Amino acid sequence: MGRTDIAVTPIGLGVMQFAGGSGVFRAMFPPIEQTAMTDIVRAALDGGIGWFDTAEMYGGGRSERGLAAALDALDVRPGRVTIATKWLPFLRSARNIGATIGERQAALDPYTIDLHQIHQPWSFSSPEAEMDAMADLVEAGVIRAVGVSNFDERRMRRAHAALARRGLPLASNQVHVSLLHREIESNGVLAAARELGVTIIAYSPLDSGLLTGKFHFEPERLKATPIGRRMGLRRKLDRSRPLIDVLEAIAEAYDATLAQVALAWLLDRYGETVVAIPGASRPKHAADAAGALDLTLTEREIERLDEVSERVSG
């Protein structure tokens, strides 16, 4: 993970869905029972996924607690997996990072925080103040590394420089990256990440399931999708169809799924700079994502996906 000593698998599991039915996620994801969360985490671990990404914002700790309970039920010892979480900056200042870290620890207990991230690029404090507060936690042994999320190039560079003054690296920047969202290539984030040695964590790498093809092959599934996601998916459905056709052709050649091909493209296209955190609301989703770890595309297949992706991405 960046220039830290934290090693992660190229694919992790995002557990935002574990906040389903709670807070702002009530309209986005249905509630998931704890037994189902445990089954999802088991499928991820069985498939070779070794780390998980959650956040305070995901249900006010509901996702963190669900993840911790699942790992505990599976007898996963603290330290065996890597855990990343995030601090929510909205209407807060950097001082709140230290003041609320105990809540994050309690939600994840007995598991520790390997990577703590600033969730959004807005707060009452500067990136420099936020990084100083995070650095204090690293020096106190409370967290292992510091990351950011949704930071543009300029803000990421400021965060990196502030941590460097404390003798620490910026581990990561978590942003939306997929075959349909390739802005990191043009907005300076990818180039800066490579220059600075920062890992890009790609969230929504399957665009809320759009790149699995399920909504193209079975449009009626949209009706069962929570309204918070339905409108966005419907707008992208026709535009993304040419990309789905190419994904389907490549998937058939490998006896793989479209999701696995989409994830393999992301890893092969960007190399070690980018890791991905697809989400899962069912065990088979986690198992499917893990299967991408064993899939390597040819240069020609990557080029084919690039060509179509460039025409339909936005």
Summarised one tens digit per residue, pLDDT across range 68-125 is: 999 999 999 999 999 999 999 999 999 999 999 999 999 999 999 999 999 999 999 9
Catalytic residues: 58
Q: Is the pLDDT of residue 64 over 70?
A: yes
* Residue 213 placed within a domain: no
CATH number at residue 189: 3.20.20.100
Sheet of strand 82-87, all strands in order from the earlier edge strand to the far edge: 13-14, 51-53, 82-87, 113-118, 143-149, 170-176, 199-203, 274-277
110 upstream amide cis, omega within 30 of 0? yes
In a domain, 262, yes or no: no
Q: What is the DSSP letter of 79?
A: T
pLDDT in tens, 286-298: 999 999 999 999 9
**Domain range holding 105?**
13-208+271-293
> Under 8 Å CB-to-CB from 120, ≥6 apart: which residues?
88, 89, 90, 149, 150
pLDDT for 158-188, tens place per residue? Answer: 999 999 999 999 999 999 999 999 999 999 9
Position 157 in a domain: yes
Q: Select from 94, 273, 314 the least CA-distant residue to 173.
A: 273
Beta bridge partners of 274: 200
- Position 104 scores a pLDDT of 98
- Give the CB-side neighbour count of residue 154, counting CA atoms within 13 A: 2
Of 70-79, 147-156, 224-233, which range is least confident?
224-233
The model's pTM is 0.95
97 is a domain residue: yes
The total domain count for the chain is 1
In a domain, 244, yes or no: no
Mean confidence (pLDDT) of the chain: 94
* Residues 6+ positions from 192 with CB-CB distance below 8 Å: 153, 156, 157, 198
Alpha carbon 96 to chain centroid, angstroms: 24
Is the residue at 302 inside a domain? no
